[in-house]
């Protein structure tokens, strides 16, 4: 018999919900059109709904979060500009250098306090536009929640400071909000408390919201129409894309967004159980659905990863850290099982 896998590598492994399958089963050709001509009613409905939720003028369905982040750079900067990325952010580390290679930008990395930028420190990074030697700084990006700081949330109060900072230095302000709904739920704040301070925001359907494909970019009408043209340039002009968008329409219903809280509860449960069951490390209780476990130096990490896999548990390992992400495919029983497996492995080290 095939062994059950508990896949905690990422919330991107999620598959569609029964409600999503119901929607797709009843879909007809009337709900599809050519989206390059902006004639797909389902895509149009999803873009309108997204813009409304974030209280922005317009939205654009993109193939992925990586594409949407790049579009925000292409549409809001000029080649040769300098842009500010957080050191451990997805845009800095995991987007194949597209900011430089495709958008022609120089990324300048800023340090943060677990993903939370310090405005005073940022001020020192702004280039002098009058100096003939220096490129202009024109955009700052933040990640909320921050993936490699364990799903850390950035509060609307910090965003307000960053807005003021951006205005003072003529910067565009972009949020990689791949998991922004997780942040809003964890902080118990409406999504517009976040989006009001941002020029451009990307969120993903394909992560905790469990859709198979797609991310959305929201912002002003002018920004979105520029981004739309760049999306075509990058080969992202899709035709009957309603077949993708239909999943998003289910995902943006309140109960489905609220379901993300279960993922937070499960990640927090895993953290608490691990703290109770073993002495090798203590973990911080995560804000959202991403738990980072730091093992002491010299821990045989490959041995741990192999033993986890032998027990049907998948996770991501970088250096001495293992990342566990909870999602729609994981319940509290899985989490309890994983905590015991980890504690047992630790006994054998
Ligand atoms: C914070 C963050 N931003 C952007 C992305 C990119 O999204 P995609 O995989 O859809 O390109 C990811 C993907 O994991 C992510 O975690």
Residues 203-240: pLDDT tens digits? Answer: 999 999 999 999 999 999 999 999 999 999 999 999 99
Per cent of the chain over pLDDT 90 is: 99
Residue 146 structure tokens: 């921050």
Q: What is the mean pLDDT of the chain?
A: 97
Q: What's the DSSP call for residue 241?
A: T
Residue in 145, 147, 151 to alter for ligand 1 test, most ligand atoms within 8 A of Cβ = 147
Give all domains of the chain, ordered by start, each with its CATH number.
Answer: 18-252 (3.40.640.10), 259-348 (3.90.1150.10)
| Residue whose C-alpha is closest to residue 146's, from 180, 188, 185, 95 | 180
Q: Which ligand 1 atom sits nearest the alpha carbon of residue 69?
A: 4
**Residue pLDDT, tens place only, 36-71:** 999 999 999 999 999 999 999 999 999 999 999 999
* pLDDT the model gives residue 143: 98
What is the whole-number distance in angstroms between the Cα of residue 179 and the centre of ligand 1?
9
Taking the CB of residue 262, how many other CB atoms lie within 10 A of it?
17
Ligand 1 touching residue 65 (CB < 6 A): yes
* pLDDT the model gives residue 349: 87
**Residue pLDDT, tens place only, 230-278:** 999 999 999 999 999 999 999 999 999 999 999 999 999 999 999 999 9
| pLDDT at residue 305 tops 90 | yes
The 3-state DSSP composition of the chain as helix, strand, coil percent (nearest 5) reads: 45, 15, 40
Residue 309 structure tokens: 């896999």
* pLDDT the model gives residue 4: 84
**Residue pLDDT, tens place only, 120-151:** 999 999 999 999 999 999 999 999 999 999 99
Residue in 88, 98, 178 to alter for ligand 1 test, most ligand atoms within 8 A of Cβ = 178
Ligand 1 touching residue 263 (CB < 6 A): no
Q: Name residues whose C-beta falls within 8 Å of residue 286's C-beta, 6 or more positions apart in sequence.
A: 150, 151, 264, 267, 268, 271, 292
Q: Are 195 and 201 in contact (CB under 8 A)?
A: yes
Q: State the Cα–Cα distance between residues 319 and 257, nearest whole angstrom.
A: 33
Where does the pLDDT of residue 1 fall: very low under 50, low under 70, confident under 90, or very high at 90 and above?
Answer: low
Ligand 1 touching residue 11 (CB < 6 A): no
**Residue pLDDT, tens place only, 75-124:** 999 999 999 999 999 999 999 999 999 999 999 999 999 999 999 999 99
Ligand 1 touching residue 288 (CB < 6 A): no
Q: How far is CA 138 from the centre of its chain?
A: 22
- Sign for the pseudo-dihedral over CA of 31, 32, 34, 36: positive
Q: Which ligand 1 atom sits nearest the alpha carbon of residue 10?
A: 14
Residue 285 structure tokens: 């209780």
Q: What is the CA radius of gyration of the chain?
A: 21
Residue in 66, 91, 115, 174 to alter for ligand 1 test, most ligand atoms within 8 A of Cβ = 66
Ligand 1 touching residue 213 (CB < 6 A): no
Ligand 1 touching residue 95 (CB < 6 A): no
What is the whole-number distance in angstroms between the Cα of residue 118 and the centre of ligand 1?
23
| pTM of the predicted protein model | 0.97
| pLDDT at residue 2 tops 80 | no
Ligand 1 touching residue 72 (CB < 6 A): no
Ligand 1 touching residue 215 (CB < 6 A): yes
């Amino acid at each position: 018999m095939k062994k059950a896998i508990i896949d905690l590598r990422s919330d991107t492994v999620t598959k569609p919900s029964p409600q999503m399958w119901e929607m797709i089963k009843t879909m007809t050709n009337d709900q599809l059109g050519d989206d390059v001509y902006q004639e797909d009613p389902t895509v149009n409905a999803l873009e309108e709904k997204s813009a409304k939720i974030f209280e922005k003028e317009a939205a654009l369905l993109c193939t992925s979060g990586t594409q949407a982040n790049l579009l925000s750079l292409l549409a809001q900067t000029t080649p040769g500009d300098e842009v500010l990325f957080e050191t451990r952010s997805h845009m800095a580390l995991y987007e194949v250098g597209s900011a430089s290679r495709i958008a022609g930008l120089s990324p300048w990395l800023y340090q943060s306090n677990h993903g939370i930028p310090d405005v005073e420190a940022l001020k020192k990074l702004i280039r002098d536009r009058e100096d003939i030697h220096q490129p202009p700084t024109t955009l700052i990006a933040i990640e909320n929640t921050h993936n490699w700081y364990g799903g850390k949330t950035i509060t609307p109060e910090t965003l307000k400071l960053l807005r003021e900072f951006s205005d003072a230095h003529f910067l565009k302000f972009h949020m990689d909000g791949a998991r922004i709904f997780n942040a809003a739920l964890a902080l118990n704040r409406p999504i517009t408390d976040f989006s009001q301070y941002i020029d451009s925001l990307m969120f993903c359907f394909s992560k905790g919201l469990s859709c198979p494909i797609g991310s959305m970019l929201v912002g002003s009408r002018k920004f979105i129409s520029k981004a739309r043209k760049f999306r075509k340039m990058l080969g992202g002009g899709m035709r009957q894309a309603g077949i993708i968008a239909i999943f998003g329409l289910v995902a943006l219903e309140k109960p489905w967004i609220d379901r993300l809280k279960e993922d937070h509860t499960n990640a927090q449960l895993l953290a608490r159980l691990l703290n109770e069951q073993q002495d090798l490390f203590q973990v911080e209780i995560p804000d959202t659905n991403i738990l980072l476990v730091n093992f002491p130096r010299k821990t045989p990490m490959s041995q741990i990863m192999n033993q986890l896999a032998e027990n049907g548990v998948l996770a991501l390992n970088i250096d001495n850290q293992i990342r566990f992400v909870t999602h729609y495919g994981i319940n509290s029983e899985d989490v309890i099982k994983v905590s015991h497996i980890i504690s047992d492995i630790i006994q054998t080290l």
